[in-house]
């Protein structure tokens, strides 16, 4: 569906039609990289090796340019700080030549499954009958007047595909306890919005505030906030920060962690079905956007997927995160690993590897024009892979989402259009 968008040019306003796109001062037609980014499959071999260096320019009026460039500069500073933290604490272990060699020795475990293009080969259906425990939510920041806020948990039965990692991965007892917070109406099961947080950003209150979840609840939806592996209460006691364990174990470990993320989320979906929930959709920010995009290709029960400032290729992203990129490139050089080989090793969980199971009419991407933590070219690549589904650009960065109220209303309107109702 074409949606009319007003683009400021000079001192006036001109009306144009933007295909399957909505905009808050930034339109998809304003993205200057008009050449097609998506290569032929296998994407990991055919995507430009310097993809991480490609520009993220938009053709904007002066006012919006100033907003975008200013927020982009803030993002670069934040990205450098986060990358420095990861470089010092996690990457020396994860990107060492010895670790990379072991991971490359295991490459066939993952590459053959990616080449087949069938997500069920790697993302195994979880066992049925997993007991999900309900209890009071610790320190709930939102207390619904006409419902309840509870904590859900279960002992994760996840087993890594890679035999080399099975014993060590399951030793982390904290990580093997899956948790989520559930807001539900007393009047019975409602369509449920499932929310997945980003890297380092697991607090429920933060995601609730950022995505206006109390407002969505008052619109009539139930809410499930999911905690990714190695985050929050799932991190080890010795981890220096939440999310540390996600990237500290090498590429094969990252592969299994993503599989674990999908595995436990699907068990919570089983639980919701058991509660009588007939419709559930997923949205997520950053790493949560990556997971949301992947889930669109893994579980057909999802009614929609709305990745927000999503990452699409984790490896290409890490090549852009200075100074972490130095550590990664040094490890690759010493280990004799080329870009397409590293991509191939991680392609087993990339959304670009698989066709979505959700119809394109129920896919919606949100991207920030000034985002430098998850650059716009990632959202653009996903948009092309999803057959140019609905996309919304806002003039902000990864953290500062200007016009956020607009895209939250667009999310609500999108849900209404696709009959995500009760």
Is residue 10 scored above 50 in pLDDT? Answer: no
Write down the number of H helices and E strands in the chain.
Answer: 16, 12
Nearest to 383 by CA among 122, 75, 20: 20
CA–CA–CA angle 332, 353, 230 (5° rounding): 65
**Taking every pair of C-alpha atoms in the chain, what is the biggest distance, in angstroms?**
64
C-beta of residue 380 within 8 angstroms of C-beta of residue 30: no
Domain boundaries, the chain: 2-417
Is residue 94 scored above 80 in pLDDT? Answer: no
**Mean pLDDT across 195-215:** 95
Mean pLDDT, all residues of the chain: 88
Is residue 357 scored above 90 in pLDDT? Answer: yes
Is this prediction's pTM over 0.85? yes
Residues 16 and 24: their CA atoms lie apart, in Å, by 14
| Coil/strand/helix, residue 18 | strand
Tokens representing 217? 């609840």
Residue-level pLDDT at 33: 66
Q: Output 81 or 175, whichever has higher pLDDT.
A: 175
Residues 226 and 347: their CA atoms lie apart, in Å, by 24
- Domain 2-417 CATH assignment equals 3.40.50.1820: yes
Nearest to 308 by CA among 388, 233, 396, 227: 396
Tokens representing 151? 């904590």
Q: Output 326 or 280, whichever has higher pLDDT.
A: 280
Residues 184 and 207: their CA atoms lie apart, in Å, by 17
Is residue 28 scored above 90 in pLDDT? Answer: no
53-62, 153-162, 185-194, 361-370, range with the lowest pLDDT: 53-62
Residues 337 and 104: their CA atoms lie apart, in Å, by 8
Q: Residues 217-269: pLDDT tens digits?
A: 999 999 999 999 999 999 998 888 999 899 888 889 999 999 999 999 999 99
Is residue 208 scored above 60 in pLDDT? Answer: yes
Nearest to 402 by CA among 375, 369, 373, 380: 369
**Exposed/middle/buried for 406, CB within 10 Å: 0-12, 13-18, 19+?**
middle
Q: Residues 46-89: pLDDT tens digits?
A: 999 999 989 888 888 888 888 888 888 888 888 777 766 665 56
**Mean pLDDT across 383-398:** 94
Q: Output 348 or 337, whichever has higher pLDDT.
A: 348
Dihedral sign computed on CA atoms, order 417, 302, 293, 44: negative
Dihedral sign computed on CA atoms, order 251, 253, 256, 262: negative
Residues 29 and 25: their CA atoms lie apart, in Å, by 11
Residue-level pLDDT at 90: 55
Chain centre to alpha carbon of residue 142 = 24
SS (HEC) of 39-71: CCCCHHHHCCCCHHHCCCCECCCHHHHHHHHHH
Residue-level pLDDT at 100: 76
């Amino acid at each position: 569906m074409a949606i009319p968008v007003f683009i400021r040019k000079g001192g006036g306003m001109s009306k144009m039609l933007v295909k399957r796109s909505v905009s808050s001062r930034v339109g998809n037609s304003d993205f200057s990289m008009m050449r097609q980014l998506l290569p032929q499959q296998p994407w990991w071999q055919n995507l430009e090796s310097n993809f991480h260096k490609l520009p993220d320019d938009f053709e904007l009026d002066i006012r919006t340019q100033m907003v975008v460039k200013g927020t982009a500069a803030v993002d670069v500073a934040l990205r450098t700080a986060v990358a420095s933290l990861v470089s010092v604490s996690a990457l020396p272990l994860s990107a060492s030549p010895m670790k990379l060699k072991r991971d490359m020795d295991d490459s066939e475990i993952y590459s053959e499954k990616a080449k087949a293009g069938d997500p069920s080969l790697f993302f195994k259906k979880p066992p049925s009958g997993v007991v999900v425990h309900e209890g009071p939510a610790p320190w709930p920041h939102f207390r619904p007047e006409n419902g309840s806020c509870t904590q859900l948990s279960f002992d994760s039965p996840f087993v890594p595909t890679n035999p080399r990692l099975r014993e060590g991965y399951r030793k982390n007892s904290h990580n093997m306890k899956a948790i989520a917070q559930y807001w539900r109406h007393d009047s019975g099961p409602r369509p449920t919005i499932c929310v997945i947080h980003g890297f380092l950003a697991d607090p429920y209150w933060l995601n609730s505030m950022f995505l206006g979840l109390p407002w969505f609840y008052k619109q009539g939806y139930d809410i499930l906030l999911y905690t990714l592996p190695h985050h929050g209460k799932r991190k080890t006691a010795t981890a220096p920060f939440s999310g540390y364990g996600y990237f500290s174990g090498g590429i094969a470990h990252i592969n299994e962690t993503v599989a674990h993320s999908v595995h436990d989320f699907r068990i919570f979906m089983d639980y919701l079905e058991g509660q009588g929930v007939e419709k559930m959709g997923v949205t997520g920010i950053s790493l949560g956007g990556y997971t949301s995009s992947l889930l669109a290709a893994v579980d057909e029960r999802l009614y929609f997927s709305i990745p927000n400032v999503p990452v699409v290729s984790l490896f290409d992203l890490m090549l852009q995160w200075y100074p972490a990129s130095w550590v990664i490139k040094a490890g690759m050089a010493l280990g004799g690993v080329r870009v397409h080989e590293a991509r191939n090793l991680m392609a087993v969980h990339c959304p670009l590897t698989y066709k979505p199971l959700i119809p394109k009419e129920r896919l919606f991407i949100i991207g920030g024009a000034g985002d430098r933590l998850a650059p716009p070219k990632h959202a653009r690549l996903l948009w092309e892979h999803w057959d140019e589904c609905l996309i919304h650009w806002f003039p902000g960065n990864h953290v500062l989402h200007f016009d956020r109220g607009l895209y939250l209303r667009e999310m609500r309107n999108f849900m209404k259009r696709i009959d995500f109702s009760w």
